Structure 1
Amino acid sequence: MDHALARIARIPKLSRFGWLMALYAENHQRLSRLFDLQTLAVGSYVSSVGDGLDLRVDVIETHRYTIELRLTYDICDPLTGEPDPSAFVRFYRDAHQVEATHCYVGRRWQDVIGLYPPPAEVVGHRMRMNTFLGKWLEYLAGQGHDKRTLRPVPIGATRAQDAA
């Protein structure tokens, strides 16, 4: 019994922060398998697989080391009139990480957990958002979304025109 306990004690434990960084890396792999974001210009794109739930990918900004984007369906929340579900994502080109920065329109982490939350609460909140993102990306891949199903939305087109 002591031999087994000694062996377990030698296995390094992954901190919650380490777990979060691993989740960011997994989400980078998932998103990179779905779409070739590094080739997309700023603008809106739609991925259709014939299931009636077109995925919208809005590339908001591109920088040398990051790409800011939003993933959403064109389903509007009845209270806000904004697309829901919706995930704002930061794609780190150099670090090979993907981080969901917030998942609700107008609700950044400060709105959800306050201005001065304890560090453990911040990490927990980020883990929940990025676990959601990972599960959503896996679902999208399972539905058949990928770079072949992604097409640009014409400039000036509205969401209603996208569906037509």
Structure 2
Amino acid sequence: MSQQVAIRNSARIPRLSRFGWLMGLYAENHQRLIRLFEPGGLAPGRYLSRNGDGLDVHLDVIEQHRYTTELRLSYAMRDPVTGEPDPSAWLRLYRDARQVEATHCYVGRRWQDVIGLYPPPAEVVDHRMRMNTFLGKWLQYLAERGHGVATLSLDSAPAQDRAPLPSA
């Protein structure tokens, strides 16, 4: 009898598609990023978050548009082979939709090296889910370590000591 009730009740619970799950990740990441750095009001430039643990965080505000903000989040560490910040995540903040999408992540390898140049759509969704899950965990970790608006300042390092701002 209880098994029939469980089957009947589970039929009423809507299932979330993988795409719906991904959109949920985007919304969670929006909340985390807004709480952490409030990037929608920052002028384009490079910002530095220092909390004293030796793992400084760079937040590059690449472009501010009417409804979106283009960002890159990275540690102040470089991949010894490529010279790229590692790890880093390229983000698109959608202010009107209240979502943040990790469009590219660099954790030792580029997306093309991971899934190829012409992956099937299901593989693209899988990859986006992994990138945005990584972003959510990273943002949560940064908040737990004390990074945030209070630790964020415009990077005042001389231009020759900084890597160039990424191009959009």
Q: TM-score, normalised by structure 2?
A: 0.89
> What aligned pairs does 1:73-88 form with structure 2 within 5 A after superposition?
73-88=75-90
Deviation at residue 159 of structure 1 after TM alignment: 3.2
Unaligned runs of 5+ in 1: none
Residue in structure 2 matched with residue 118 of structure 1 by the alignment: 120
C-alpha distance in structure 2 between counterparts of 1:107 and 1:52, whole Å: 24
Residue in structure 2 matched with residue 147 of structure 1 by the alignment: 149
Residue in structure 1 matched with residue 93 of structure 2 by the alignment: 91
The answer as to 2:35 corresponding to 1:33 is yes
Deviation at residue 49 of structure 1 after TM alignment: 0.3
Deviation at residue 94 of structure 1 after TM alignment: 0.4
Aligned pair partner of 1:56 in 55, 58, 66: 58
Unaligned runs of 5+ in 2: 164-168
Residue in structure 2 matched with residue 69 of structure 1 by the alignment: 71
Does the CA-based 8 Å contact 1:92-1:98 persist in structure 2? yes
Q: CA RMSD in A?
A: 1.9
State the secondary structure of the residue aligned to 2:53: coil
Give aligned pairs, total: 160
Aligned pair partner of 1:159 in 144, 162, 166: 162
Residue in structure 2 matched with residue 44 of structure 1 by the alignment: 46
Percent identity at matched positions?
Answer: 71
Q: TM-score, normalised by structure 1?
A: 0.91
